[in-house]
Amino acid sequence: MIKDFSSFGAAYRDFKVREGVYVPEPPEEFSGDNPFTRMAPIRGELKDIKFDETYPYLDKSLKFKIWHFLIYLTLWIAAFPLNRIRFGIKIEGREKIRRNRKLFANGVMTVCNHVHRWDMICVLQAMRYRKAWIPMYAQPFRGKDGFLMKNIGGIAIPEDRSGLRAFDKALNELHDRKQWIHIFPESCSWKFYAPLRPFKIGAFNMAYRFSLPIVPMMLSFRPRTGWRKLFGNGEPLLTIHVGDPIIPDLNTPRKEEAARMRDIAHKAMLDMAGIVSNPWPSSID
């Protein structure tokens, strides 16, 4: 029997899942019209940072290197175990990362839905604890979380054309170093939102440009059970699903191939989450 989720609001219109798939009730009302509405507020007083050609998109300072190391050390020692205890993180399909390690020798791009404050931690655990660099909207870098966002590997996306050359230079260097890149193609976080929103095309253009395999991942939810009911404020437990890599076909024009990879990734993520009817198409560009 498929449950009707219309009571969850307009953003759940026509949403249906396979029997046995758990869908948490959303903590807030989501926009039924614009899937790119930014729901999470920027915390703290905003700093005056200009994301132009002078901004260090790829910081090479000793200070950054030390903090980058310390933050990842904290993730390995504390955050990853805590994620298993607090959110019961389960990883399905993780063997695909190991099986395709030769394919990823020159770098890879991972994509995932953006539905949880700890979703990047889940992605890193699914990646077998590899580091990743994450292009992100620039505005939150001005707030309280900016320090952590930058030092975990966040790269601010320029707000105007003046910073694009420096931003592209940073990405070129990461590609030359065969680094892993992660992008949330939904662009902004909607907490515990079970449907899959449309994707921005930029991630797939980047994968084509650098000839990077794309690994789709999908976060889904489970009810909080057993001893985990004693904490967590009733928030659902998490499962992250790892899909098969999508290989760019460089013999196909970029625009056409980026759209193809976007559509395949979107469909694969729906299937992994057990979604049989989704309110959104893969794109509304």
**Residue 284 located in a structural domain:** no
Q: Write down the pLDDT at residue 2.
A: 56
Give mean pLDDT, residues 251-271: 98
**Which of left, alpha, beta for 192 (phi over 0: left; psi -120 to 50: alpha)?**
left
pLDDT per residue as tens digits for the range 87-127: 999 999 999 999 999 999 999 999 999 999 999 999 999 99
Quote the percentage of the chain above a pLDDT of 90.
Answer: 78
The rounded mean pLDDT for the chain is 92
Question: Burial of 42 by CB count in 10 Å (0-12 exposed, 13-18 middle, 19+ buried)?
Answer: middle
pLDDT at 260 over 70: yes
Domains: count for the chain: 1
Inter-residue contact 248 to 265 (CB < 8 Å): no
The CATH number covering residue 136 comes to 3.40.1130
- Confidence at 1, pLDDT banded by 50, 70, 90: very low
Can you give the pTM of this predicted structure? 0.94
In the prediction, which pLDDT does 99 show? 92
User: What percent of the chain has a predicted confidence (pLDDT) above 70?
Assistant: 99
Q: Taking 80 as the threshold, does the pLDDT of residue 4 lie above it? A: no
Q: Are 206 and 254 in contact (CB under 8 A)?
A: no
Q: Rounded CA gap, 264 and 35, in Å?
A: 19
C-alpha–C-alpha distance, residues 216 and 265, integer Å: 6
The pLDDT-based confidence of 60 (bands split at 50, 70, 90) is: very high
Torsion of CA 192, 197, 201, 202, to 10 degrees: -20
Query: What pLDDT score does 43 carry?
Result: 85
Beta bridge partners of 155: 135
Note whether residue 283 is domain-resident: no
Give the range of the structural domain holding residue 155, as residue numbers without chain letter: 6-277
Cα Rg for the chain, rounded, in angstroms? 19
Is 136 part of a structural domain of the chain? yes
Residue range 178-211, pLDDT digits in tens = 999 999 999 999 999 999 999 999 999 999 999 9
Query: Tell me, what's the pLDDT at 45?
Result: 83
Evaluate if residue 3 carries a pLDDT over 80: no
Each residue's pLDDT tens digit, 29-39: 887 788 998 88
The CA angle 196-133-172, to the nearest 5 degrees, is 115
Closest C-alpha to 220, from 191, 258, 192, 201: 192
Residue 285 lies in a domain: no
pLDDT digits 0-9 by tens, 162-181: 899 999 999 999 999 999 99
Residue found under tokens 């604890």: 129
Q: Report the phi/psi class of residue 182: left, alpha or beta, with left for phi > 0 and alpha for psi in -120 to 50.
A: beta
Handedness of CA 181, 94, 264, 267 (dihedral sign): negative
Tell me the average pLDDT across 151-163: 90
CA dist 125 and 209 (Å) reads 27
Task: Provide the pLDDT confidence category of residue 27 given band limits of 50, 70 and 90.
Answer: confident
Instruction: Return the SS3 of 217.
Output: strand
Higher-pLDDT residue of 128, 147: 147
